[in-house]
Amino acid sequence: MTTHRPVLAVFLCLAQLVLPAAASADDKPVPIDEGLAKKGEGVYGRWCVSCHGALGDGRGYSAQWLEPRPRDFTSGIFKCRSTPSGTLPTNADLLRTLKIGFYHTYMPAWAVLGDAQLYAVIEYIKTFSPKWKEEAPGTPIVIPPEPPNDEASVKRGKSIWKNNQCEKCHGPEGKGNGASAPTLRDDWGFPDQPFNFTASDKRKCGATNVDLYRTFMTGVSGSPMPSFGDSISQQDAWDLVHYVNSLLLPPNTEYPIAEHY
Ligand code: HEC
Ligand code: HEC
């Protein structure tokens, strides 16, 4: 038997390379790297504390003037994830968010800090919520190849949009002015505006078709924007991507102010 051990070891190493790095919801939490978090504390104190606060509760000095509010990291809730609704994001998800920032909000892009500082500050953010000590990040969803973006797909997407009541929040033409829009609040009790698809193609969780597919299937946690991962098929999600993109109007279109996001 001993002769088989190296073979097994090689197999396990290969399996680790091939399998997704993130654990599933039942997996053990990944211990926080205290040394890295300590480095991140310095980055946080220099660049993040004014908005996210010394306790990570989103109540920094500048927070009172901002809408949406800076994130309260004690909740362990993140909007942009490759992982299913209700699970923690992967480090790669957080790195991506930090590099790009959140369009249409005061959350800046931090690519200039470089990956090493960003990974450190990500580790530090995890120390604010007990969730990171109790749960492993979710397993990223699998995104199938994109089918053709043609008229038929856009047409199907329109009926999926109607059937799933997207217009209740986003409005019949996708202008972010649906009947429920004025009443929507985020998990922290602050107003949360549905996206206006006619005015911008820049979105918080990414603007490519793959990003949009992922947003439909994992949702925008902490906001009223649901995850459709359990209710629509993969083909439906791609048709929706094509439909939603078809709503964008030319950049010089004039809008009444209230319809701007
Ligand atoms: C000028 C204010 C401001 C500064 C400075 C700032 N943020 Fe933010 N940040 C925000 C706001 C506002 C949001 C919430 C936007 C939303 O929920 O739509 C946010 C959200 C986030 C999120 C949540 C992402 C998700 O998927 O939900 C993370 C992570 C984050 N910030 C990390 C950082 C880090 C790390 C720094 C420092 C390097 C930083 N922020 C600096 C304002 C700021
Ligand atoms: C209950 C209200 C509600 C419904 C129903 C809803 N949304 Fe949303 N949606 C929101 C809100 C609120 C936001 C803004 C979330 C945020 O940025 O905090 C949003 C944001 C989005 C975004 C932008 C995400 C980003 O990365 O910035 C997309 C895309 C989207 N919705 C598509 C859809 C589609 C397609 C449907 C129907 C299948 C739908 N939504 C149904 C409320 C809703």
Beta-carbon contacts of residue 207 (< 8 Å; ≥ 6 apart):
201
Q: 215 CB under 6 A from ligand 2? A: yes
Query: Are the C-beta atoms of residues 135 and 31 closer than 8 Å to each other?
Result: no
Determine the pLDDT at residue 201: 86
d(CA 233, CA 161): 13
> Which atom of ligand 2 is least distant from the CA of 192?
12
d(CA 215, CA 81): 8
- Dihedral sign computed on CA atoms, order 165, 247, 158, 215: negative
Q: Furthest-apart CA pair in the chain: how many Å?
A: 76
Listed as ranges, residues in the chain with pLDDT below 50 are: 1-3, 5-23, 257-261
Distance (Å) from CA 77 to ligand 1 centroid: 12
Q: What is the residue with the minimal CA distance to atom 40 of ligand 2?
A: 166
Beta-carbon contacts of residue 219 (< 8 Å; ≥ 6 apart):
85, 225, 226, 227, 228, 229
Q: 107 CB under 6 A from ligand 2? A: no
- Residue 249 tokens read as 């109007």
CA distances for 130 relative to 44, 105, 134, 137, 209, angstroms = 19, 27, 7, 13, 34
Q: Work out the burial of residue 88: count CB atoms within 10 Å of its CB; fewer than 13 is exposed, 13-18 middle, 19 or more buried.
A: buried
Q: 75 CB under 6 A from ligand 1? A: no
Distance (Å) from CA 247 to ligand 2 centroid: 14
Task: Please compute Rg for the chain using Cα positions.
Answer: 20
- How big is the chain, counted in residues? 261
d(CA 107, CA 152): 37
* Torsion angle defined by CA atoms of residues 126, 43, 101 and 98, in that order, rounded to the nearest 10 degrees: -50
- Residue 2 tokens read as 């001993």
Distance (Å) from CA 131 to ligand 2 centroid: 25
Distance (Å) from CA 94 to ligand 1 centroid: 10
> Which atom of ligand 2 is least distant from the CA of 211?
26
Query: Are the C-beta atoms of residues 63 and 51 closer than 8 Å to each other?
Result: yes
Q: Which residue has the tokens 């030319």?
A: 250
Distance (Å) from CA 225 to ligand 2 centroid: 4
Of 250, 246, 247, give the one whose Cα is nearest residue 150.
246
Q: 241 CB under 6 A from ligand 2? A: no
